[in-house]
Chain A
Amino acid sequence: MVSTKELVNIELEVKAIEKGNLACPGCQLNLSFKHALSALKGDAIVVVPACCTSVIQGAGQGYGMHVPIFNTAFASAPPVASGIARKLKRDGKKTTVVVWAGDGGTADIGFGSMSGAAERDENILYVMYDNQGYQNTGNQKSGATPRGAKTSTTPHGKKSRRKDIARMMMAQEVSYVATANASYPQDLFAKIERAATEFAGHFRFIQIYSPCPPGWNIDTKDSVLVGELANNTGYWPLYEAVNGKLEFSRPSRRFNDPAKRKPLADYLKIQGRFRNIDPEIVKQMEEDIEHEWSILRKFM
């Protein structure tokens, strides 16, 4: 794992994002992008379907991110990336092709084309940043919205469970699947670096938990705290699965024991989207956490 000092030096050198871009204050997606592109040393072509990133990357004649970006329509990001990757292979170049898509573009609209790219084992690093809703268009419910969250289309809280895309990708026998969290930058950095070097030539999938202050109704300064609580309550387990063999990452490992987890109420009370939530749903959410870990343990 990279040290703090090295991380700072690489980030100041690569400068993946620019100051004064169009991201909302406290945006963790912007931060994840900075860490991810620093891990790739800026040597990447990023394909972005319609999502928050397509706003942040530039407006008019300016640009907000310091890498080549290809903006495309919702469901066509994996096919576009496949084409770019095949051309780079013909030219003998080692540049990583990254699809940087939101949870709506991955879990709902782009799922078919992503699954197809995974089946063909294209040379793509697929990064899904999970802000748990269509935050760009005004916080509508997506497939990755968790149970209980209020959105503009589920004003009384979502009743059903979220789709677990990382596990779906494991079911498709993708060679490298990982979950990451924007509040643990060194862990995120190590996973992107590992995916880009060790598993080059294959389809790789990384899902990043990135809190969204306006959509989740949290104070901008709490967005790092929310990520830490998601890890410490066991709500967002961090793991890497290499060819179906799963290993929990260091920040998450001790929460395999339910007694060491913090109470879920700590995580829920600082987020406005879970305000006045039905106690019955809270109970179901607590059961969901243990259910999730019990499934993941079977792959160890």
Chain B
Amino acid sequence: MPGVAGRTSEWRTQRPDLHTETCTKCMKCVIHCPDDCITVTEDGYPEIDQYYCKGCMICMAVCPHDSIDEVITLPGGDIDA
């Protein structure tokens, strides 16, 4: 049952933004996401669930090709600043 703690993206103050142009599908972000928020789409690219992402930015830190960018959000986590 997803969402036992509600919409957990409201905890965050920044969110990851994936750029598929430089993504090599190495799957490091999928493996290291501690909340299982990154899944794989049909064409093999990772996809971030922005509704439950807590904004820890581990995916940005482990990405070897800098394909994930940090976007600052307003309190509440759903609107970009």
Contact = CB atoms under 8 A, between A and B. Distances in A.
Contacts of B62: 224
Contacts of A30: 34-35
Given A8-B27, A19-B35, A25-B11, A222 B4 contact: no
A34 interface: yes
Contacts of B7: 20
A285 to B, nearest CB: 25
10 contacts: A4-B27, A7-B27, A11-B31, A12-B40, A20-B3, A21-B4, A25-B56, A27-B34, A62-B1, A221-B58
A27 B12 CA distance: 14
A23 B35 CA distance: 8
B57 interface: yes
A243 B67 CA distance: 45
A220 B39 contact: no
Interface in A1-45: 4-5, 7-8, 11-12, 15-23, 25-28, 30-31, 34
Interface of A: 4-5, 7-8, 11-12, 15-23, 25-28, 30-31, 34, 58-60, 62-64, 185, 213, 220-225
Contact of B31 (A17, A21, A185): A185
Contacts of A60: 4
B4 A22 contact: yes
Nearest to B53: A19
Nearest to B7: A20
Contacts of B6: 20
In order of increasing CB-CB distance, the 9 nearest A-B pairs are A62-B4, A20-B3, A26-B56, A25-B56, A221-B57, A25-B54, A19-B52, A220-B56, A31-B34
B12 A25 contact: yes
B47 to A, nearest CB: 11
Interface residues of B, number: 33
Contacts, number: 100
B32 to A, nearest CB: 6
Nearest to B49: A19
**Which interface residue of A16, A17, A19, A223 has the most chain B CB atoms within 10 A?**
A19
Contacts of A63: 1, 4
Nearest to B54: A25
A19 B2 contact: yes
Contacts of A8: 27, 30-31, 40
B81 interface: no
A225 B61 CA distance: 8
A34 B58 CA distance: 16
Nearest to A60: B4
B64 to A, nearest CB: 12
Given A4-B31, A17-B35, A23-B35, A58 B58 contact: no
Contacts of B1: 18, 62-63
Contacts of B32: 31, 185, 224
Nearest to B34: A31
B26 interface: yes
Given A26-B56, A223-B58, 11 more contacts: A7-B31, A11-B31, A19-B3, A19-B8, A19-B36, A20-B2, A20-B52, A30-B34, A31-B33, A220-B58, A221-B61
Given A4-B26, A8-B27, A12-B39, A20 B60 contact: no
B11 A18 contact: no
A261 to B, nearest CB: 22
B27 A25 contact: no
B4 A20 contact: yes
